[in-house]
Structure 1
Amino acid sequence: MPWLSVPRRCANARNACWVQPPTRVNGQIQGTKLRAEKASPYHSGTAEGYVHVLGDAYPILTDPCLGLSTEYPWAMTFATAATLFTFTLEWCLHKEFHKRLNETGPSSRDVEVAASAKETELTAEHNQTLKRLKNLVHSYTFETGIIFHSIFIGITLGVSQDRDTVTALMVALFFHQGNEGLALGVLFVKAGYSRMRYLILGALFVIITPLGVAIGIGISNSYNGKSKAALGTEGIFDSVSAGILIYNGLVDLILPTFEPSEMPRKWWLQVIGFGSLWSGAAIMALIGKWV
């Protein structure tokens, strides 16, 4: 699979194969600016997964029209399965990346016997490449969760003929897509995509909701939102999307960003980072009261 390929090391820094991730410049200030910018959109996966997506899936899958048990938490079950599947998939991909990097990178024996600056640089590059490949996997799984949910938001918007419903959905799209786009953008930069891959994944994120709207308009005359097929499909997709978004938000986005080694040393700068995270999540949770 081409997107799993491990890039060859370049001869020098000028011909670096990857886009270098942002680094701290001029002390802690630059690092703090980056931390706040990264923390702000990273709440979207967790808050949206719990409050918006899983919150929508639960009443759908307990609707009496679906014919299933109205007491069993079907939404939580599908979300749990999606979370564990995402973890298993990422584990398998990370294992494959380690294997390929060990085949292309410097051997452990070479690292032990060679203490030159060149070998040290290659080892650091090896670790940096592994980190970027992990971010590549994170960006793919995160966008998958977004796509599952966005397509049904678009369909709902397309079939809706009530002005209040359309207004609520447009507000939801504004906040959801905005925060998700910021989080995806940070992941794309950290993964060091090529320009073509930037365009493809960015275009997929942009067109998926309008595509859902077009589908909704096309089926608006025959669409029955209370049919078993419609309820089951939307409920399962929302639950799966919630499981993926929650896992990505906590494990792939928030945890790596707030590792002690990645945080600035000054306590008040750490407060800024956590304040950005909590305030963003609180805003998304508050929006769930209306949309």
Structure 2
Amino acid sequence: MAGSHSHSHARDDDELNCGLGGGSDTDFNLRIVAIFVILIGSSAGALFPILARRSKWLHVPKSVFDFAKYFGSGVIIATAFIHLLEPGIEALKSPCLAEGWSEFPYAMAICLLSIFLIFIVELVAFRWGTAKLAHLGVSHDPHGHNLGSHAAHGPETSYQPSDVGFTKNESSSSDIESGSEHGHDHPFSDNATTQLIGVAILEFGVVLHSVLIGLTLAVDEAFKVLFVVILFHQTFEGLGIGSRLAYLQLPQKYNWVPLAAAITFGLTTPIGIAAGLGVRSTYNPGSTTASIVSGVMDSFSAGILVYTGLVELFAHEFLFNKDMMAASNGKLAYALGCMCLGCALMALLGKWA
């Protein structure tokens, strides 16, 4: 059995190029240009909502923010299933991998593990943050339910989301429109630590994914189609992340965090492309090691975005959001429409990338 396995594996190596042999070397100059074009696209997508919300002279209507926010939610959820979980399953089923890999659905298991890990991290962060505030003598509900006025899973009190819905403040939507400072009555109502953990989790999932996309783009043969698709992909994803970062409620000293997170997002795919071009003579995305690494990372990132998308975006922005539940049918339909549009466009891009 072992002998026949190694024999078939050796034959596979010849046919499948599971070893090092480099990626595609065509359109080299265009691939270099791609670094800068994607840098501009993804950075613009991520930075625009943050800068627009902070600037005094650029009056962006609230409906535009709402569009970007809900569109971005749809993008994030489609990314999880179509652009991460599916490629993760594919990579871990690669014929280059040892037989053991095909005996168990490892991609699904890694995604499941990731969902549980993120849930536990969030749970611990909430308990720790709440305990810390209780120690300071502040009664605090990390999900911003009006203190004592709702059951534990009752509606959220505010329409204004933090990055991934970690904590909501009690400001009204008129506060949001005027951009005024919030939460003077509950100075501790937002716990910066739990919010920062929230940003870190979403950012981590997306950044891993972006580096892998860059590496693949640098050495893939179908470069031109992939380039156009990934440019849209990263710009949409940037909008999704940026619109969540724009509504982070952080103390003054943490004001740089959303900008830093957006810039990091903008840089990751270009860094991946540059790294891919640097190692193009040896990096083969179909090799055994590359398949395992990208399969595991994609599946793990998928879990992060599935959790974020379903729990933080679906549940907290809609079901537990008092303003959204009391909103007019038109407003609710608009939000759902934006989300479905983001999801549909991102899922459609999965046809090419």
TM-score tier (shorter): 0.7 to 0.9
2:313 equivalent to 1:281: no
Counterpart residue number, 1:196: 256
Q: Distance in 1 between matches of 2:310 and 2:290?
A: 30
Q: Does the 8 A contact of 1:146 with 1:241 survive in 2?
A: yes
Counterpart residue number, 1:261: 322
Say which SS state the counterpart of residue 65 (structure 1) adopts: coil
Indicate the structure with greater helix content: 1
Counterpart residue number, 2:32: none
Counterpart residue number, 2:229: 172
Say which SS state the counterpart of residue 192 (structure 1) adopts: coil
Q: Does the 8 A contact of 2:77 with 2:305 survive in 1?
A: yes
User: 1:55 Cα shift?
Assistant: 1.1
2:265 equivalent to 1:208: no
2:213 equivalent to 1:159: no
Q: Distance in 1 between matches of 2:259 and 2:62?
A: 28
Q: Distance in 2 between matches of 1:288 and 1:200?
A: 29
Length-normalised TM-score, structure 1: 0.76
Give the residue type in structure 2 aligned to 1:146.
V
User: 1:70 Cα shift?
Assistant: 2.8
Q: Which runs of 5+ in 1 are unaligned?
A: 1-18, 23-29, 113-120
Length-normalised TM-score, structure 2: 0.64
Q: Distance in 2 between matches of 1:224 and 1:33?
A: 42
Counterpart residue number, 1:55: 86
Counterpart residue number, 2:180: none
1:100–1:123: structure 2 CA closer, same or farther, 3 Å change rule? farther
Q: Deviations over 1:38-91 (max 9, x none)?
A: 211111221111011111111110112111343532211111111111111111
Q: Distance in 2 between matches of 1:173 and 1:140?
A: 23
Say which SS state the counterpart of residue 70 (structure 1) adopts: helix
Q: Distance in 2 between matches of 1:81 and 1:107?
A: 33
Identity of aligned residues (%): 29
2:274 equivalent to 1:217: no
**Number of residues paired by the alignment?**
249
Counterpart residue number, 2:69: 38
Alignment of 1:236-255 (within 5 A): 236-255=296-315
Q: Does the 8 A contact of 1:60 with 1:235 survive in 2?
A: yes
Counterpart residue number, 2:41: none
Give the residue type in structure 2 aligned to 1:189.
A
User: 1:94 Cα shift?
Assistant: 1.5
Q: Distance in 2 between matches of 1:200 and 1:214?
A: 21
2:334 equivalent to 1:272: yes
Say which SS state the counterpart of residue 188 (structure 2) adopts: helix
